[in-house]
Amino acid sequence: MERFFLYDDVEDSKTRFVSFTGRKLRYDLAIVQSSRFFGKVLVLDMQMGNFAIMGPDDVEEEGYIEHVYKRTEEEAEDLREYLRELLN
**pLDDT tens string 1-60:** 899 999 999 999 999 999 999 998 999 999 999 999 999 999 999 999 999 999 999 999
The predicted structure's pLDDT at residue 1: 86
Whether residue 6 lies inside any domain: the answer is no
Number of domains in the chain: 1
Do the Cβ atoms of 45 and 29 come closer than 8 Å?
Answer: yes
Do the Cβ atoms of 54 and 43 come closer than 8 Å?
Answer: yes
Threshold 0.95, pTM exceeds: no
- Domain span at residue 39? 14-87
